[in-house]
Structure 1
Amino acid sequence: MTAVPPPPQVWPTLRARDARALIAFLVEAFGFEATAVHADGDLVQHAQLSWPLGGGIMLGSARDEDPDDPWPLHPGSFGAYVVTDDPDALFARAVAHGAEVTSPLHDTDYGSRDFAVRDPEGNRWSFGTYRGEPRG
């Protein structure tokens, strides 16, 4: 019997000027799944977008500048590397939905097939087949 690894427990977070539009883009262009969206009208308090291979991200609407904000993230300042089994198909999907290409599809010297894009909010996303080095 093969042991099942525990689910990922790292959940990067970001804020967006138009969280609902960004959620729609991330679902349509990249294939995230909108697992939960808690909102008051246009203000998204919390959203969880799950990645099909495990893990995901959390996001919400940007807030007005507030020195007491415990999580003062600025829209467009996020970056992530996301593992995918089919970077070629994902690249075509992302481009078809308007993602701005910052690095086209390419093979790396460490055996990954990668590309990088920017979403409509300016966040940077890198996708590839590299799953990290084994833990030892």
Structure 2
Amino acid sequence: MNIDIHYAFLPHTDAEAALGFYRDLLGFEVRQDVGYEDMRWLTVGPVGSSTSIVLHPPAVDPGISDDERDTILTLIDKGVYGAVTLATDDLDALFAKLEAGGADVVQEPTDQDYGVRDCAFRDPSGNLIRVNQI
């Protein structure tokens, strides 16, 4: 039996900015772009991979109160709500591409004490995007 990750979910606060980051800077393909009323869900992922990230409007669940919605939006604004770790075989080249593209750098490529070489960015919604060298 094989198990794989199919979808991971991250909130977005601006669909066009999210596309600029995930599609244009990271080179992910857009697998779905679904709108409903004034909201938009984007499914993106690396070309040739079955793993996808669903970028969704934040706090749209009907059971969320206004106070809970405000808390979620505050956490997103602070950049502490969502995160994902990606992997690449050329960390320095990817870092240079993202930095040149104006991505919000959190950490330059670093050899961590626990044996990983990685860097970190924030996407346009503030989600933490870590990238490991493989």
> Structure 2 length as normaliser, TM-score?
0.73
**In the aligned structure 2, how far is the partner of 1:85 from the partner of 1:97?**
19
**In the aligned structure 1, how far is the partner of 2:89 from the partner of 2:37?**
36
Q: Who is 1:82 aligned against?
A: 86
Higher share in helix: 2
Q: Who is 1:50 aligned against?
A: 45
Amino acid of the structure 2 residue aligned with 1:32: F
Specify which of 27, 35, 43 is matched with residue 23 of structure 2.
Answer: 27
Q: Which runs of 5+ in 1 are unaligned?
A: 131-136
Once the 2 structures are TM-superposed, how far is the Cα of residue 10 of structure 1 from its aligned partner? 4.4
**In the aligned structure 2, how far is the partner of 1:41 from the partner of 1:93?**
35
**In the aligned structure 2, how far is the partner of 1:82 from the partner of 1:25?**
14
Once the 2 structures are TM-superposed, how far is the Cα of residue 79 of structure 1 from its aligned partner? 0.7
**In the aligned structure 2, how far is the partner of 1:124 from the partner of 1:30?**
14
Q: Which runs of 5+ in 2 are unaligned?
A: none
**In the aligned structure 2, how far is the partner of 1:53 from the partner of 1:108?**
29
Amino acid of the structure 2 residue aligned with 1:38: V
Give the fraction of aligned pairs with identical amino acids, expressed as a percent.
Answer: 31
CA RMSD of aligned residues (A): 2.7
Pair 89,7 (structure 1): closer, same or farther in 2 beyond 3 Å: farther
Q: Who is 1:101 aligned against?
A: 105
Once the 2 structures are TM-superposed, how far is the Cα of residue 52 of structure 1 from its aligned partner? 3.6
